Structure 1
Amino acid sequence: MKAPLLRVAILGAESSGKSTLAAALAERLGTVWVPEYLREFVETHGRVPVAQDQFLIASTQVAREREAGASAHGVLICDTTPLMTVLYSRHYFGGEDAPLAALAASTQYDLTLVTAPDTPWVADGLQRESEAVRQLIYRQLLDELAARRIPHHILQGSLQQRLAHTMPLLEALPASV
């Protein structure tokens, strides 16, 4: 019988190193990671999403997590979750619709990591707005995690420092890799 798959969520504001950390963790653990679908959406459509796109973005992210789970080896690294889509929906559109809220509430992870916005902010064209927005979203994320009582660990510093902080957390999980 195959051991249950551990799912690790990496959350954080724009340009805080989520994707870099996800790729490095997956490589170190010999598993796969699920890239942030929002990035692909923006590149494919050549525009930022509108309110009506939010559920599609979050549900596609979750569907890709399910698909990637078949290729994962003990742990699946998820570069963002529907919760981040909820936060950005609130910021840009004044709230989230019921299907998005339900999806965020029903999607669970075994470990939640939050990348602190302590790396240089880098503009990337359409998707990223500003350092001020990055700091605001980070604070809102921490507030939301507290309100939902989601245990999380804040990762700061260089990629190597973040990896060094994360590995013991992974090893402490039941049936860990």
Structure 2
Amino acid sequence: MKIALLGAESTGKSQLALALSAHLRNSGLAVHHVGEYLREWCDTHQRTPTQDEQHHIVQTQIARVMATPADTVVIADTTPLMTAVYSQLLFNDHSHDDLALVHQALFDVTLLTGLDLAWVSDGLQRDGPHVREPVDQKVRHMLSQANLPYQVVYGSGPQRLENALFCMGRQAPQWAKQLARQESPTRWSGLCETCGNGDCEHRLFTGLLVP
């Protein structure tokens, strides 16, 4: 089982990946967490990669996912699709799109973190809150154009984890039976729940604009 977490900057991908890893391990599953290589690269070089360095980021992220043991649950934070999206935005470069989508198709579950969390500065990897919506739109467009299923995860803290588990159950129902519990899952009680339904999201963000 391979699970991918995608999303714009400061939308809680890393926190959710760690929370999912811990939860699945506590459920008795063997879990392999694959961190974001871009973050590691930026920390090492103390800068963001140039256009001609993007391919190395893509290839390394793919290699790390493919090197995971076959009998484990792989949680990837994130995938080359995010590098492809940022290459489009920053360099008008679409050369990584095809490879990123081929790799993305290997994942059984794709979760897209919603834009409901407040933007937080995080050094070299933060371009600003104004970039989040364009990134989110490009991720959705690429996934939709390739007919790759995904669901959007909203909520904060434990709710975000519960909503992610719900979304996983929607995309991989047979596998998710291993995680079934006696109690009903806690669902977000706001204006929108956990699906990627456009109307549902419209109600959420309309509500956020009300003073």
1, 8, 18: which one aligns with 2:3: 8
Q: CA RMSD in A?
A: 1.7
- Alignment of 1:61 onto 2:61: yes
Gaps spanning 5+ residues in structure 2: where? 26-30, 179-211
Local SS of the residue matching 1:161: helix
Contact 1:32 1:73 in 2 (8 A): no
- What is the distance in 2 between the residues matched to 1:29 and 1:118? 25
* Residue of structure 2 equivalent to 1:105: 101
- What is the distance in 2 between the residues matched to 1:89 and 1:170? 28
* Residue of structure 2 equivalent to 1:141: 139
* Residue of structure 1 equivalent to 2:51: 51
Local SS of the residue matching 2:124: coil
Local SS of the residue matching 2:111: strand
- Alignment of 1:170 onto 2:165: no
Contact 1:34 1:77 in 2 (8 A): yes
* Residue of structure 2 equivalent to 1:93: 91
| Residues 102 and 136 (structure 1), Cα distance of their counterparts in 2 relative to 1, 3 Å cut | closer
Q: CA deviation at 1:103?
A: 2.0
Counting only pairs closer than 5 Å after superposition, residues 17-96 of structure 1 correspond to structure 2 as 17-30=12-25, 31-67=31-67, 69-70=68-69, 74-96=72-94
What amino acid sits opposite 1:138 in the alignment?
A: D
Local SS of the residue matching 2:49: coil
Moved more, 7-16 or 167-176: 167-176
Local SS of the residue matching 2:117: coil
Moved more, 118-127 or 87-96: 118-127
Question: After superposition, what is the alpha-carbon deviation per residue over 1:85-135, rounded to whole angstroms, capped at 9, x for unaligned?
Answer: 1100000011132xx334213212100000012111111221111100012
Residues paired across the two proteins, number = 168
TM-score, with structure 1 as normaliser:
0.87
- What is the distance in 2 between the residues matched to 1:102 and 1:156? 28
- Bigger RCO of structures 1 and 2 (CA < 8 A, at least 6 apart): 1
- What is the distance in 2 between the residues matched to 1:140 and 1:60? 22
* Residue of structure 2 equivalent to 1:123: 121
Q: CA deviation at 1:33?
A: 1.1
Q: Which runs of 4+ in 1 moved over 6 A?
A: none
Gaps spanning 5+ residues in structure 1: where? 1-5
Question: After superposition, what is the alpha-carbon deviation per residue over 1:16-45, rounded to whole angstroms, capped at 9, x for unaligned?
Answer: 100000011011111221111000010101
- What is the distance in 2 between the residues matched to 1:118 and 1:171? 22
